[in-house]
Amino acid sequence: MIDEYHTVWSDSCTEIKVQGSRFIGEASSADSVESAERKLEQIRKREHAATHHCYAWRIGQGAEMTFKYSDDGEPNGTAGRPIYDVICGADLTDTLVVVTRYFGGTKLGTGGLAHAYSDAARLAIEQAGKVTKYLIARAHLTLEFSAYDRLMRAAQTLGANTVDSQFAENVTLTLEIRRSRLEELRRIFIELTAGKGQIDIPSAPSE
């Protein structure tokens, strides 16, 4: 199971100049369409005097991935799609890139525009950096105290984190773990508790 993805490490803001026009590239993380739209609107308000705010975002993983791009008044296919292609080429998701243009008086032509927007997007992504993140599942476990220490050692080996623990007649735990390691956790849990413990894994793991 593939349970890792890449996004930008931090927000960035860069600028290039092409024949008098300023292209301000900004890359930021966005884990939802609402977040991307909110950040886009903030840039539009801040750079309200600009000629164009061209952008692309790519959000989610696998079958749930969604994307959008816009030329914002530039000739069709010269801005939004080139920005989107740079995001895809960097294998990023949960990422928004906005390239704001202040027109400098010289028309660049369709090829020149596509190159300028691509270069601005690429520079913004390079400055933002890249980070690997993992899809996480949450498991709820109930077991006898005698098996607790052994389970926690195994969970630590698998990189699981304890979200909650309660000690009464039995121990009740909530663990977070990479999705790809979930079945191994289940196997170890059943083995350590001799099938007497209870493990509950929600059908929709959290991210």
Instruction: Work out the average pLDDT over 133-143.
Output: 93
Closest among 91, 45, 103, 40 to 65, alpha carbons compared: 91
Q: What is the pLDDT of residue 186?
A: 92
Distance from C-alpha of 142 to C-alpha of 207, rounded to nearest angstrom: 23
Q: Which of 76, 61, 78, 57 is nearest to 6 (CA)?
A: 61
> How many CA atoms, within 13 angstroms, populate the side-chain half-sphere of residue 108?
23
Residue located via tokens 């930008």 = 8
The residue among 15, 19, 49 whose CA lies nearest residue 109 is 19
Q: What is the dihedral of CA 121, 94, 74, 25, to 10 degrees?
A: -30
Predicted structure pTM score: 0.80
pLDDT of residue 205: 42
Give me the helix-helix angle, 109-128 and 80-89, nearest 10°: 40
* pLDDT of res. 204: 44
Token pair for residue 186?
Answer: 């289940």
The tens digit of pLDDT for each residue in 81-101 reads 999 999 999 999 999 999 999
For residue range 11-36, what is the model confidence (pLDDT) as tens digits? 999 999 999 999 999 999 999 999 99
Question: Under CATH, which number does the domain 4-133 receive?
Answer: 3.30.230.30
Domain range annotation of the chain: 4-133, 135-200
Classify domain 135-200 by CATH number: 3.30.70.240
Number of helical (H) and strand (E) elements in the chain, helices listed first: 5, 11
